[in-house]
Chain A
Amino acid sequence: MAEHFRGELPRFLRILAAPAGFLPLGPALTMAVRRFARRKPAVFDRLGEYGKCSFLIEPSDLDVSFLMVPDGVRAEVKCLRRRASQTADVTVRGPLLVLLGLLDGTFDGDALFFNRAISVSGRTDALVALRNSIEDAELTPADFVGATGSLGKLVDRSVIGGLGLARRFTGSPIPGEPS
């Protein structure tokens, strides 16, 4: 069933993002998660046995999806062309900017679910564990690119500012306000 979510990227941006499907995003994201696991192992302790589960993350406004097994330093992320029929323990679907907001704690997962801004299927326990572990991780954009110090602060400021603007532009839900 095709679902449309508030806050999806406008068409011209989707076209700009299309080549992402051909870039080696998977290996880059795998390295980023592993690097993060080395820096903050407590996040993966919190995730426990659920680290071995597979999570399919489907931005509803892009033609790519991400299959992630967040198993600490053995983590694996694959970037898939959307139509590839892929099974996973958990599937989460929603607009890219909303999914990114879940990662950095801008959005509350329960509120997004109540408002139907995201949809979920599969093992709810694994998703709850991942959500709570990410919540506690206080992830910032710099964590993903491995930037620290003043470069890290610069990355965070630019990306968070850019995402905020993009959310206003696309009409993403604003924390605390009804969608």
Chain B
Amino acid sequence: MSLELVCPAGTPSALRAAVEAGAHSVYCGFRDETNARNFPGLNFSPDELVEGVRFAHAHGTKVLVAINTFAKAGAMDAWKAALANAEKAGADAVILADLAVLDHAATHHPNLRLHLSVQAAAATPEAIAFYADTFGVKRIVMPRVLSVEEIAKLNAAINVETEAFVFGGLCPMTEGRCSLSSYATGKSPNLTGVCSPPEHVAYTEDKNGTATRLNGFTIDRFGAGEQAGYPTLCKGRFVAGGKTFYLFEDPVSLNAASLIAALAKAGVTALKIEGRQRGKGYVAEVVRTFRAAVEAIDAGGTEVEVGRLLSGLVEGGRQTSGAYKKTWR
């Protein structure tokens, strides 16, 4: 069976763009802290999700709803409402990370198909078996820290589907375990659904170029014409050992298009494209290009030159195959 292409939709119009560009599935979230892309002006109201599911299903595309932040102790109502609204809208699956949310879904929404979010960072057969046996999870979105060989070994040791990121922004830490944004701003991707919240980001220009500030901390400075990246601490430039450089990670985007065949051989069911915060221009372009790449490989053809076709859309103007081909510093 062909690989399933799972594509981002930050807004109803991006959902339509993804569906029309050939997405097999789209993933999206509600306009609140229950999903890990909680940016202003982004995401779906319950009514918009109903309409989005109707549109996607009419075109043979599935809708997966990300409810993948960690619920607050004693204040789970938003997560419970999100699960109920996803089921009411006819979602094909929900993507969850938190144990309490998984338990609530398994107990109160037994007909909802459960996928485990990358935020849960399940990367061992033991962890995956726990989620599968305890909550009936059917698919794991794998953290972006595994090589293709490790994914092949993992797939041989588990009996649920796996989904691998193939394109888009990289969160280089073991997913869901980064405190950089919390340290600088008091808000984190895991709890409030946003890393480097935009209300804490400021760009200031002077004769030396543009400085990026996160809640008062200067995290990067780039000259006129120099490619820029997302304003996250992991991609900031700092002085260490007398040198100024990207200490944790360069501003690059993941592009594993050249590994699609290898990922399929390693037993991966679905390929995921990151980018719910991106515009419909990005969504349409990336989805169309990857759909052609997947079909070319299915047909035994040659690789599509995804890197060249999408080079104008990527962070920092550069692309990497990330941990899939491991070359850590």
Contacts and interface: CB of A to CB of B under 8 A. Distances in A.
Contacts of B207: 1
B40 A121 contact: no
A108 B229 contact: no
A108 B227 contact: no
B48 to A, nearest CB: 8
Interface stretch (B91-99, B107-115, B278-286): B278-286
B121 interface: no
A119 B205 contact: yes
B281 A119 contact: no
A125 B279 contact: no
Given A1-B206, A106-B281, A128-B40, A114 B198 contact: no
B42 interface: yes
Interface stretch (A56-64, A78-86, A131-139): A131-139
Task: Output the residue of A115, A121, A136 with the most chain B CB within 10 A.
Answer: A136
Contacts of A144: none
A111 B41 contact: no
A46 B279 contact: no
B250 to A, nearest CB: 13
A179 B210 contact: no
Contacts of B40: 48, 50, 125-126, 128-129, 132
Task: Output the residue of A127, A129, A132 with the most chain B CB within 10 A.
Answer: A132
B278 A110 contact: yes
B314 A47 contact: no
B29 interface: no
B198 A135 contact: no
Contacts of A108: 278-279, 281-282, 313
A175 interface: yes
B277 interface: yes
A153 to B, nearest CB: 19
B280 A179 contact: no
Contacts of A116: 224-228
A105 B281 contact: yes
B278 A114 contact: no
Interface of B: 10-14, 39-42, 197-199, 201-207, 210, 224-231, 277-282, 285, 289, 309-317
11 contacts: A46-B41, A105-B281, A111-B278, A111-B312, A114-B314, A116-B227, A126-B40, A128-B39, A132-B40, A176-B309, A176-B313
Interface of A: 1, 3, 46-48, 50, 105-111, 113-116, 119-133, 135-138, 173-179
Q: Which 4 A-B pairs have the closest CB atoms?
A: A132-B41, A129-B40, A129-B41, A136-B11
